[in-house]
Amino acid sequence: MINFKNLVEKYGSPLYIYDFNHFNERFAELRKAFRGNKLLIAYAVKSNSNLSVIKNFAKLGGGADCVSIGEVKRALKAGIEKYRIIFSGVGKSDNEIREAIERDILFINIESEAEMLRIENVAKNLGREARISVRVNPNIDPQTHPYISTGLHENKFGVDIETSKRIYIYAKRSEWLKPVGLHFHIGSQLTKLSPIRDSAEKIGNLLRHLKSLEIDIKFFDVGGGIGVKYCDEVTISPKDYAEAILSVLGNLDVTIILEPGRFLVANGGYFLTSVLYEKKNGNKRFIVVDGAMNDLLRPSLYGAFHDIEFISNKDIDLSEKSSADIVGPICESGDFLAKNRDVPVAISHGDIFVVKSAGAYGFSMSSNYNTRGRVAEIALENGVDRIIRDRETFEDLIALEDKYI
User: Which of 260, 291, 299, 344 is close enough to bind ligand PLP by CB under 6 A?
Assistant: 260
Q: Which of residues 182-201 bind ligand PLP (CB under 6 A)?
A: 185, 188
In the bound state with ligand PLP, the residue whose beta carbon lies nearer, of 158 and 344, is 158
223 makes contact with ligand PLP (CB under 6 A) = yes
Within 10 angstroms of residue 349's Cβ, the number of other Cβ atoms is: 11
CB of 299 to ligand PLP, least distance (A): 17
- Which sign, positive or negative, has the C-alpha torsion 162, 165, 170, 175? positive
In the bound state with ligand PLP, the residue whose beta carbon lies nearer, of 47 and 174, is 47
Q: Which of residues 87-106 bind ligand PLP (CB under 6 A)?
A: 88
Q: Which helix (H) or strand (E) holds 162?
A: helix 161-173
- Active site residue ranges: 331
Within 10 angstroms of residue 360's Cβ, the number of other Cβ atoms is: 26
Q: What angle do CA 328, 385, 399 make, to 5 degrees?
A: 55
Contact 391, 373 (CB under 8 A): yes
In the bound state with ligand PLP, the residue whose beta carbon lies nearer, of 266 and 324, is 266
Contact 172, 150 (CB under 8 A): no
CB of 223 to ligand PLP, least distance (A): 5
In the bound state with ligand PLP, the residue whose beta carbon lies nearer, of 46 and 372, is 46
Q: Which of residues 275-334 bind ligand PLP (CB under 6 A)?
A: none
β-bridge pairing 269-281 and 284-289: antiparallel
* Residues paired with residue 342 on neighbouring β-strands, in sequence order: 323
DSSP secondary structure letter of residue 152: S
Tell me how far apart the alpha carbons of residues 298 and 127 are, in angstroms, rounded to a whole number: 44
In the bound state with ligand PLP, the residue whose beta carbon lies nearer, of 262 and 372, is 262
46 makes contact with ligand PLP (CB under 6 A) = yes
CB of 181 to ligand PLP, least distance (A): 12
Contact 173, 127 (CB under 8 A): no
- State the number of CA atoms in the 13 A half-sphere of 149 facing the CB: 15
Cα distances from 271 to residues 27, 267, 348, in angstroms, run 22, 11, 19
47 makes contact with ligand PLP (CB under 6 A) = yes
74 makes contact with ligand PLP (CB under 6 A) = no
- Piece in contact with ligand PLP (CB under 6 A), picked from 55-63, 256-264, 319-327, 329-337: 256-264
Cα distances from 78 to residues 45, 146, 204, 264, 325, in angstroms, run 11, 33, 33, 17, 39
User: Which of 138, 181, 238, 261 is close enough to bind ligand PLP by CB under 6 A?
Assistant: 261
In the bound state with ligand PLP, the residue whose beta carbon lies nearer, of 67 and 324, is 67
158 makes contact with ligand PLP (CB under 6 A) = no
341 makes contact with ligand PLP (CB under 6 A) = no
State the chain's maximal CA–CA distance in angstroms.
73
CB of 224 to ligand PLP, least distance (A): 3
Q: Summarize as ranges the residues that interact with ligand PLP (CB under 6 A).
A: 44, 46-47, 65, 67, 88, 185, 188, 223-225, 259-263, 360
